[in-house]
Chains A and B, each alone.
Chain A
């Protein structure tokens, strides 16, 4: 991916850039809001990582200007502020996702890949497929190998999100936010227990298990490569 990092704190910028480059991404770093805006409009990036507090022009301003210029590159906000309003402000200004510092690098990676592959509007399919698993979003039915699977509404939403992110890692936090709209981390293992139930319904008694746990990162729904 081609990633623009707009971050005035050198240490953080370095940490992000080094990590991303180590994973094979192409990184450009901008040190302030104005430079960030100029780079974002001059070049095409897959995703922009944008600090909220920046000299010259703050993160909200950068996004607003970018959107006004017609640049629709997905933006991930980074911030020290964990305010409830800050997330809403960031999304309202035109940001696409929001991550509070300090964060685990896996969390950042999962969100970046989700943003970079976000489907364009208007082309959402009504049937999601992965291997022999089929989800009809209109009829709200799930079948695997032709067999109907009965899911609770929340399990349905969970599976839908996993299917949309097929092949990519989704973190616990992302699931909490997207499936339950919980913007905090409950002590209780909500995600784990739901995943385990869903797995029981989808994978039990079948040779190929679709939902996998990625240790230390999250979950992924993946059709294993038969050659592997």
Chain B
């Protein structure tokens, strides 16, 4: 998996956007917190300076300048974090090292420690200081090195920096990880698709245990592949069947014509061979026409020509057309089609569907058999059954009768393309009808019912 692909994934792009937003908000939050802390710390510092100044002023009030100088001396050695300066009225530094501002005004200031004689190069420390004019005209300066507050703030700042950096790092790693996860699942889909394209139609996308949208997508694809595989197998089967079905008449044609060529060549035998060959060719053409018709119906292009029609009326017309033929064969053909059966369809095809069912019933029943075409309205729509009391179809073959080129083992009918009921099934499906065969005990029952609406 190449790096650029990882960076180009949808999940990584999303992760990056989220990361940017999150980092921005983390930065904003840090800035706010930093500024608040800084404000608090500085206020705290100022308060400490004011308190110290107050304490020193109290000492001054009690013990005068000497006392103050003593205290300053002691503090200067002991530390406590403050630095001091006491300037006499003439501007001389009496104690400490902080100089008062020029002009002798009191108040807050940025003071600078007096230069250290021993290390003149050292940069003087800047301190925040409060200058107070005492009653004897001298000025007391109390300062605190800002170093400490700066150190604290620097600490806070670096903590925030690390946090943002960690966020960025974690987010990037997380984004890459998510993308890798996503990519690996996409890759498994791509790999499966490639295998399928290479001809391995049994392949399916492995489903992740997490039932998310990608899994749902994979499941949908797998169903699609199931359908394609089924169609491919059916297609292969049909090609094989066509080849098989054509070989027989072609071989027999060849045999007859060769026999006619090599035989006595009497006009009678030659014309008999020609007649037989024509009959075989007509049979082959009939097979092709039936296949083409099934193909067209299955392609579904005819739906545009659908009109409302009454299936009962159409069925009655077809039954009427078949009546004399049935009677001639000594069979009873009955129509029970009193209720109107409204549907939307292509009349020409519906007529052919019913005619094929009757053809089938008449062909596979002995003289004396009874055939009934009955219609009724069901909860979900309509239903039409064609029933005979002939020998029927073996239970394990019932499902197969709608397949192309299927001819029942028991059926010894000579001609027939084996496509009549396939066309019935194709037309039924085009019209949203479910086609089922069952045992009529005895005989065959074919039922066409309005199929349930697909989910």
Query: Hey, which bits of chain A sit against chain B, CB under 8 A?
Result: 82-85, 88, 102, 154, 180-190, 192-194, 196-197
Cα A83 to Cα B302 with chains together (Å): 10
Q: Which of A82, A183, A185, A193 makes the CB contact (< 8 A) with B328?
A: A193
The residue that B355 contacts in the complex, of A182, A193, A196, A197, with Cβ under 8 A, is A182
A102, closest chain B residue (CB) = B285
CB-CB under 8 A for A85 and B301, given A154-B320, A190-B325: yes
Q: Main SS of chain B's interface residues?
A: helix
> What are 18 pairs between A and B in contact, CB < 8 Å?
A82-B293, A84-B293, A84-B348, A84-B349, A180-B321, A184-B293, A184-B352, A185-B286, A186-B355, A186-B356, A187-B416, A188-B322, A188-B325, A188-B358, A189-B328, A193-B324, A193-B325, A193-B327
Q: Give 20 new A-B contacts, CB below 8 A, not counting A182-B352, A186-B322, A188-B355.
A: A82-B292, A82-B293, A84-B346, A85-B301, A102-B285, A154-B320, A181-B348, A182-B321, A182-B355, A183-B352, A185-B286, A187-B363, A187-B415, A187-B420, A188-B359, A189-B328, A193-B325, A194-B321, A196-B328, A197-B324
Question: Which residues of chain B from 315 to 366 have a CB within 8 Å of any chain A CB?
Answer: 317, 320-322, 324-325, 327-328, 346, 348-349, 351-352, 355-356, 358-359, 362-363
In the complex the two chains form, what is the Cα distance from A183 to B296 in whole Å? Answer: 15
Q: How far is the CA of A95 from the CA of B292 in the complex (A)?
A: 23
Nearest chain B residue, comparing its CB with the CB of A185: B286
What total of chain B residues lie within 8 Å of the partner, measured CB to CB? 31
- Asked if B289 lies at the interface with its beta carbon under 8 angstroms from chain A, I say yes
How many angstroms from the CA of A26 to the CA of B454 in the assembled complex?
59
CB-nearest residue of chain A to B417: A187
How far, in whole Å, are A192 and B415 apart by their CA atoms in the complex?
18
Minimal Cβ-Cβ distance residue in B for A186: B355
| Residues in A neighbouring B363, C-beta threshold 8 A | 187-188
CB distance from B249 to the nearest CB of A (A): 15
User: In the complex, what's the smallest C-beta–C-beta distance from A94 to chain B, in angstroms?
Assistant: 19
Which 9 pairs between the two chains have the least Cβ-Cβ distance?
Answer: A193-B324, A187-B359, A193-B325, A188-B325, A186-B355, A184-B352, A190-B321, A193-B328, A189-B325
Which residues of A are found within 8 Å of B285, using beta-carbon distances? 102
Q: Do residues B322 and A190 form an inter-chain contact, with CB atoms below 8 A?
A: yes
> Which residue of chain A has its CB nearest to the CB of B296?
A83
Check if B302 sits within 8 Å of A85, measured CB to CB.
Answer: yes
Nearest A-chain residue to B302, judged by Cβ: A84
Bound-state Cα–Cα, A182 to B322, Å: 12
Whether the Cβ atoms of B359 and A183 lie closer than 8 Å is: no
Which residue of chain B has its CB nearest to the CB of A194?
B324
Which chain B residue shows the least CB distance to A176? Answer: B321
Cα distance, A181 to B355, chains bound together (Å): 12
Q: Please give, as numbers and ranges, the residues of chain B lying within 8 Å of A187 by CB-CB distance.
A: 359, 362-363, 415-416, 420
